[in-house]
Every structure is written in structure tokens, then in C-alpha cells.
Amino acid sequence: MKIASWNVNSVRSRLEHVTNWLQQNPVDVLCLQETKVVDADFPRSDLEALGYHTYIYGQKSYNGVALLSQKPLEQVTTGFAGILPDIEPEWDEQKRIITGVIDGVRILNLYVPNGSEVDSEKYKYKLGWLNWLHKYLKTLLQTTPDICMCGDFNIALEDKDIHENVSSIKNHIMSSDAERQALNQLLALGFADAFRKFTEKGGHYSWWDYRTMSFSRNRGWRIDHHYLTPELYKKAVSCAIDLEPRKLVKPSDHAPVIVEF
């Protein structure tokens, strides 16, 4: 089974890239982030025409996640409230979580808040959001032991996941100590990085800033991840970043990442 994750930075702006990519890369499930569209305007029919079932959780202008699956998904849930029904509704005002089950595997598609700048209000929101995600995962693991947690985490866990021209990594958004600690606490529940099962070296990135020709200079960050529970991690046979869509005209600033298990 192949599961891909791709922050498309607007599914409507990227529709042609997404449909072309799916035709060339017929994955079982594609997890999209930053769809930036309300559900009524999601380009559902274009994707269904390729044989994909669509499960969407969007909002106006910002955020938004979706699952595209060749086979129908079971037990689809959205938001924190899908698993934590008592959570305050404000934590789901930003649409960042959608999940579904395929062949007994829970696919968890996340768009973690960006955080803006260290110590900003958005940064505190990011850390609070990750704290709720910890509770969410603990609950989910009680009923679903096999989880593929993927998406745009907006966190680079190790220095080698960041290009060498970033100064003060420890105080930078996406690599600060508190962000890494929060992510490590999630992983301590029993998740491992699929990419690192196959690739030890740094220099592999999934996001490059649009500005300053970052992509052509490979000044990027690896912030899009597939984290697997133990049985899935054992079964994983590959995990790779596809650079091709990032080379196109008007690309997303993220590249898709694909895991196979």
C-alpha cells in the first residue's frame, strides 16, 4: 500500500499538478494539506474522475485537509472532536485533521500550525495544538494500533533536516527546542520516522521557500513526515520525496512524500 502526503498550497491553484501527479503516481491514498477551500467548492469531480474517493475537511482561505483514496475509507473522522468529543470547539475552528481506515490501517492526515515566530501568539497556539494532539493520539491508539500519521508537521526534528544557511536553529520557527520536544513527545507514544528507515544522510528536504531561489539552491527543510506505529514500520519498504512537482511552473512550495508498506 502506498500513502502519499502533499501540502499543495491551494488545491484549486494546484489542481492540474495534483491530477497529473496522481495519473503518474497512482497511490492508494493521497493526503492533502492546505487545500484552502470550503467543502462546497472542493474540486471533487476532477479527482473522482481519476477513480478516487474524496474525503474533505476545509475552510475558507486557510488550512484545510483532504483524503483521496482509491478504495472507500472506513471510520472517517475530522478534527480533534472526531476522537476527543469533549474538546472545546475553538480547537477545531482551523481545519487541520482528517482520518480514515483502509485495510485496518488508520491514516491520519495532519496540517500542524505554522507558528509564525518563536514566542508569538501563533507559536503558543502551535504548542497547545501539539499538546492536544498528544492526547488525541493516546486515545486513538487504544482502538487502532496501526497508524500512519502523516502530513505537514511544520517541524524539522534534526539539524540535518535543515539546509546549512539557517542561523540560530534552536530559536527558529520549525526547529526550536520546544517544538522539537513537543514532536518527540508524540513520537514517544510509539511512532517512528519512515523516511529515516531508508535514508540516514541529511540534505533531503520537502519544503523550499518560494523566495531567493531556494529550490534551485536546495535550501530546504524536511518538515513533511510519515510516522508509523511499530508493525507498519517493520513492513515499510520505501519512503521517498518526489522532487518532480516542485520543478514545475507555479508549484506548491512543498513536494509530495510517499511511503510504501
Q: Which residues bind DNA (CB under 7 A)?
A: 7, 9-10, 12-13, 34, 36-37, 60-63, 113-114, 116-117, 122, 152, 154, 173-174, 207, 209-212, 221, 223, 250, 253-254
SS (H, E, C) 104-143: CEEEEEEECCCCCCCCCHHHHHHHHHHHHHHHHHHHHHHH
**Min separation Cβ 209 and DNA, Å:** 6
Q: 34: burial class by Cβ within 10 Å (0-12, 13-18, 19+)?
A: buried
8 Å CB contact between 68 and 61: no
| Of 150 and 236, CB closest to DNA | 150
- CB nearer to DNA: give 114 or 199: 114
H-run or E-run covering 22? helix 15-24
How far apart are alpha carbons 234 and 102 in whole angstroms? 18
**Residue in this structure with the C-alpha cell 474525503, named with its chain if needed:** 55
CB of 196 to DNA, least distance (A): 19
Nearer residue to DNA within complex by CB, 124 or 138: 124
Minimum Å distance from CB 100 to DNA? Answer: 22
Q: How far is the CB of 202 from DNA (least distance, A)?
A: 16
- Closest approach, Cβ 178 to DNA, in A, equals 16
Instruction: Tell me if 70 sits within 8 A of 26, measured CB to CB.
Output: yes
* Closer CB to DNA, 97 or 140, in the complex: 97
- Give me the count of residues in the chain: 261
Residues 124 and 117: their CA atoms lie apart, in Å, by: 10
| Closer by beta carbon to DNA, 140 or else 162 | 162
